[in-house]
Structure 1
Amino acid sequence: MIAMSGSSVWGEVWQQRIADALAAHGLLIRGGLNFTPDEHAPPGPAERPARAVLLVGQAGARPWPHFMRWRRERPEVRENPLDTWSREVIASVAARFGARAVSPSDRPFLPFQQWAMRAEGLKPSPLGILMHPEYGLWHAYRGALLFDHEITVEVPQKTIHRCDACIGKPCMNACPVDACSVQGFDHRACLSHVRGPLGDACRQGGCLDRNACPYGAAYRYPAEVQAFHMAAFASPT
């Protein structure tokens, strides 16, 4: 059983309703946390420092059919369509439940990765993507809901960081230009390769290093989803 901080039964029921609203779009709650009094929290719905945050994201490619249906209905949205869809969906849920919606692409950037590590107890993989014990590298955070009140949150259980137990680190050996190394991510080398004549495999099937990871294979994004993300990465805009 997962321990809970807080004791409000109403809070659990209320979060289930939020989860149901997100599930209608293929999204899910990815943990939450209450801000400490000395934390520099972003503004909540009342424009005062928020008291709590629920992270919203995905596991595998569950949102893809919902996003593609929206895209067919909104062909005029050409720039950052997935981000636009995510913002609209999460904002609509926020409005229903008295929250303020925020996005990882908001400026100034909010500490989504730090929130995720606290909320779900995750650690970064060698690629920089957070390693999830079940989803592997095949998950994402699409936004968050900020609240003016504290919420009931799950206390993440301690789990083995899969990267610590991984032999050989195949995620560090699949890239033909060694864009990911112990020195970090070489963005320029990666982008040049993906855009170049030898980058077909990456353009059509996604990052070779990411696909080499053995964990969370059941949640691996289909090739069309990976190609979509890679096209966005390689876009000159």
Structure 2
Amino acid sequence: MTYELIARAAAAMQLELLGGFHPGDSDADLAGFETLILLGPREPGFWSAFSQSREFLDGAPNPMDRWSVRVLTGLAVAFNAQPFYPFGGPAYRPFFQWALRTGRCHPSPVSLLVHDQAGLFVSFRGALALTQRLDLPPTDPNPCSTCAGQPCRSACPVVAFETGQYDVAACRAYLKGVPDNDCMTMGCGARRSCPLSKTYGRQAAQSAFHMKAFQTNGS
């Protein structure tokens, strides 16, 4: 089994391997596993595939989470792996810390994770833990270190990241109080301003789907 083999199987389901790492002795929640791989939407094309899925079309709650469980369970069975998810808690798995350990995700100037390919649009649908120690691809430096102007710092209409901490209350108040704002219909302005995000191919409909869920869950 190889990282590349899992990547091909994931790609067939419109998922991307966003990085991995080798757990150590201090990772009590990953005891017995030699490799952890994080997976997220493969762009372009993820939304087109997901929006035709039975989970999206059946009208029941949490369609993307249910889709993720079905698809990642299938991959886990195929590769004799243990799936983990960033939802379904509490308690929640430490996906933020796991992402940093891949070396492909880094802290951005607005405190959100930035990925070397997905930019500030990085998101995770789950992870696969394997008992085999797989060779992992090389990593790149934090893309923010060479980003001219760092537009994410000034893109938020309510400067919700001004202090270096995400002001969730200010963000939600804006989304609720300003009808048809760009953040609700196209996705977070700070995330969209990232040069890597602009090349990632994520559709506005997907961002609107997530923003609606974010606003609804906070009401």
Q: Which of the five TM-score ranges fits, normalised by the shorter chain?
A: 0.7 to 0.9
Q: Aligned with 1:31: secondary structure?
A: strand
Q: Is the 8 A contact 1:59 1:138 kept in 2?
A: no
RMSD (CA atoms): 2.3
* Cα distance change on mapping 1:135 and 1:80 into 2, 3 Å: same
Aligned residue runs from structure 1 range 21-32, under 5 A: 21-32=9-20
Aligned residue runs from structure 1 range 34-45, under 5 A: 34-42=22-30
Is residue 128 of structure 1 aligned with residue 111 of structure 2? Answer: yes
Q: Aligned with 1:109: secondary structure?
A: coil
Q: 1:79-133: per-residue Cα shift (whole Å, max 9, x none)?
A: 2211111111001111122111110114321121222222234311123332223
Counterpart of 1:86 in structure 2 is 68
Amino acid at match of 2:75: V
How far 1:188 sits from its partner (Å)?
Answer: 0.4
Q: Is the 8 A contact 2:35 2:134 kept in 1?
A: no
Counterpart of 2:97 in structure 1 is 114
Is residue 212 of structure 1 aligned with residue 193 of structure 2? Answer: yes
Q: Distance in 2 between matches of 1:49 and 1:66?
A: 34
* Cα distance change on mapping 1:202 and 1:185 into 2, 3 Å: same
How far 1:232 sits from its partner (Å)?
Answer: 0.9
| TM-score of the pair, normalised by structure 1 | 0.81
Q: Distance in 2 between matches of 1:181 and 1:82?
A: 31
Q: Aligned with 1:140: secondary structure?
A: coil
1:232 aligns with one of 192, 205, 213? 213
Counterpart of 1:101 in structure 2 is 83
Q: Aligned with 1:221: secondary structure?
A: coil
Q: Is the 8 A contact 1:119 1:155 kept in 2?
A: no
Q: Distance in 2 between matches of 1:221 and 1:73?
A: 17
Amino acid at match of 2:152: C
Q: 1:44-85: per-residue Cα shift (whole Å, max 9, x none)?
A: xxxx643331221234343212211114774142x2211111
Q: How many residue pairs end up in the alignment?
A: 217
| TM-score of the pair, normalised by structure 2 | 0.86
- State which structure, 1 or 2, has the greater radius of gyration over its C-alpha atoms: 1
Amino acid at match of 1:85: W
Shifted more, 219-228 versus 183-192: the winner is 219-228
Unaligned runs of 5+ in 1: 1-10, 43-47
Q: Is the 8 A contact 2:23 2:33 kept in 1?
A: yes
Q: Distance in 1 between matches of 2:156 and 2:80?
A: 45
Unaligned runs of 5+ in 2: none
